[in-house]
Structure 1
Amino acid sequence: MTLALRGEKLSRTFSSAAGDVHACVDIDIEVAAGELVVVRGASGAGKTTLLNLLGGLDAPTSGTVWIGDVEATALDEDALAALRRERLGFVFQSFGLIPILSAAENVELPLRIAKTPPAERDARVAEALKLVGLADHAAQRPTELSGGQQQRVGIARAIAVRPHVLIADEPTGQLDSRTAATVMDLIGDLVHSQGLAAIVSTHDPLLVQRADRVIELHDGRVTSVTSVTGRDAAGPAAATTDAPAPDAEEHDESHTPRTRAEAREQRRTDH
């Protein structure tokens, strides 16, 4: 197993007028190449803070982050920015697309920032849009695309840089359940076909079933690590359970797809 991302004893404390807020507390986490890990928990549980720490968008109060064999938390700002450009891809809940740019131009933007040669840029943009099923929509602007298509452009932008790690913070938060499932299927397929390591935050129990491993956060602490595929979860906080998540009671489990293949088949049947 090749570890692409690792956090050790990560803590982040914010000061406020009401006192210190411990957003993350002594979190150990590992994500391997070709693995899709979902982080779930209620609002305020620390999901976004954890992803920001792992992606180098915020600095931990204590602890270390490793991207492959590089200790990201030991780098200065310039070196950290370069590491993010070269090894990390980010997908955001709000899509984060520039309205005046076409889908292709949005995907191309990080490659321009990285000063990728024009011919290679064009090839990568075309490849990324094809992978997310939007090759025929390259010239369209975000306002001409559906929410699901916009998020797929966001995913294409993230993978165009050919990252080692994909970090997605509530990527389906603004989508309906059917489109959200399609987007999560896409992320899962890319992870396994491209050998990416992906960590995705969500609170949707239907999307959790697409993961290889699920990490539960509560008040900034890891409370359980569940192997969805049946493999034993690794680490001192690991615990594999068949009990449904607390907020899963609202869903009919008998109709919940357990794998990406089952999800695709269910959508075909529904049509």
Structure 2
Amino acid sequence: MTLALRGEKLTRTFRSAAGDVHACVDIDIEVAEGELVVVRGSSGAGKTTLLNLLGGLDQPTSGRVWIGDVEATALDEDELARVRRERLGFVFQSFGLIPIMSAAENVELPLRIAKTAPAERDRRVAEALRLVGLADHAAQRPGELSGGQQQRVGIARAIAVRPHVLIADEPTGQLDSRTAATVMDLIGDLVHSQGLAAVVSTHDPLLVQRADRVIELHDGRVTSVGGHAPAGPGPADEASGPADASDDAEGPSEDAPHPPRTRAEAREQRHTDG
């Protein structure tokens, strides 16, 4: 097992007029290549703080973070920015797309910032959109896409830089349950097929079933760690590729079946719908 991300004794304390707020307390976490770890907890449990610490977006009050073999907490701001740019991909609840840019231009943006050569940019953008099932929507702007499609663009943007680690903070928080399940299946498929390490925060119990491992947080502390055995893709799933982008264009009707509760059930439902 090759570790892609590791946090050791991570503590983050915020000062306030009412006293200290302990958002994270002595958290140990390891994420291997090809592993999808879900961080679960109610609002205020410390999920976002933990992800920000792991992604180098915030500094711990104490503790250390390694991204691969690099100790991120020992780097200066310039070095840390370079590691984030080269090794990490971020997916946000609010999608974070630029409205005036097309899907392809949004995906291309971090590659421009990294000064990737134009031909290589074009190739990576096309590949990322294909992987999330949006190759035919490259020219559309965010306002012309459904919520699920916009989040797929956000995922494409994150993986276009070919990160070692994918960090997603409540990536399905603005989606209906069926679209959310589809997006989580997509993230899981990318993790396992591309060998990414992924940390995803959620409070949705249905989405937890997609995880390889689940870490439960309460008041900034890890209260339990559990695992699931995700169903591996069969030959039919490998041949089908990502779900068609039209799958999430509309929300579920009143007589729609229940949202899928496992990765295998989600794939079976997509085949049935198709």
Please give the TM-score of this superposition, normalised by the length of structure 2: 0.88
Which one-letter code corresponds to 1:124 in the other structure? R
Q: Distance in 2 between matches of 1:257 and 1:102?
A: 31
The answer to whether the 8 Å contact 2:36/2:213 transfers is yes
The answer to whether the 8 Å contact 2:181/2:259 transfers is no
- The answer for the alignment partner of 1:26 in structure 2 is 26
* Aligned-partner SS, 1:19: coil
- The answer for the alignment partner of 1:171 in structure 2 is 171
For residues 249-271 of structure 1, what are the alpha-carbon distances to aligned partners after superposition, in whole Å with 9 as ceiling and x for unaligned? xxxxxx77554222121344467
- The answer for the alignment partner of 2:236 in structure 1 is none
- The answer for the alignment partner of 2:267 in structure 1 is 264
Relative distance call for 1:258 and 1:229 in structure 2 (3 A) is farther
- The answer for the alignment partner of 1:157 in structure 2 is 157
Which runs of structure 2 are paired with 1:1-271 in the superposition (5 Å)?
A: 1-229=1-229, 257=260, 259-269=262-272
* Aligned-partner SS, 2:155: helix
Q: Distance in 1 between matches of 2:125 and 2:83?
A: 21
Q: Distance in 2 between matches of 1:127 and 1:112?
A: 16
For residues 131-161 of structure 1, what are the alpha-carbon distances to aligned partners after superposition, in whole Å with 9 as ceiling and x for unaligned? 0000000000000000000000000000000
* Aligned-partner SS, 2:174: coil
**Moved segments of 4+, more than 6 Å:** none
For residues 181-223 of structure 1, what are the alpha-carbon distances to aligned partners after superposition, in whole Å with 9 as ceiling and x for unaligned? 0000000000000000000000111100000000000000000
Q: Distance in 2 between matches of 1:150 and 1:83?
A: 26
Which one-letter code corresponds to 1:218 in the other structure? H
Q: Distance in 1 between matches of 2:177 and 2:210?
A: 13
The answer to whether the 8 Å contact 2:26/2:63 transfers is yes
CA displacement at 1:179 relative to structure 2: 0.3
Which one-letter code corresponds to 1:260 in the other structure? R
- Segments of 5+ residues of structure 2 without an aligned counterpart are 231-257
- Segments of 5+ residues of structure 1 without an aligned counterpart are 231-254
Which one-letter code corresponds to 2:268 in the other structure? E
Q: Distance in 2 between matches of 1:73 and 1:25?
A: 17
Q: Cα RMSD (Å) of the superposition? A: 1.3
- The answer for the alignment partner of 1:251 in structure 2 is none
Q: Distance in 2 between matches of 1:206 and 1:17?
A: 38
Relative distance call for 1:2 and 1:258 in structure 2 (3 A) is farther
The answer to whether the 8 Å contact 2:55/2:167 transfers is yes
The answer to whether the 8 Å contact 1:167/1:200 transfers is yes
For residues 80-136 of structure 1, what are the alpha-carbon distances to aligned partners after superposition, in whole Å with 9 as ceiling and x for unaligned? 000000000000000000000000000000000000000000000000000000000
- The answer for the alignment partner of 1:235 in structure 2 is none
The answer to whether the 8 Å contact 1:209/1:257 transfers is no
**Identical residues among aligned pairs (%):** 91
Q: Distance in 2 between matches of 1:119 and 1:266?
A: 38
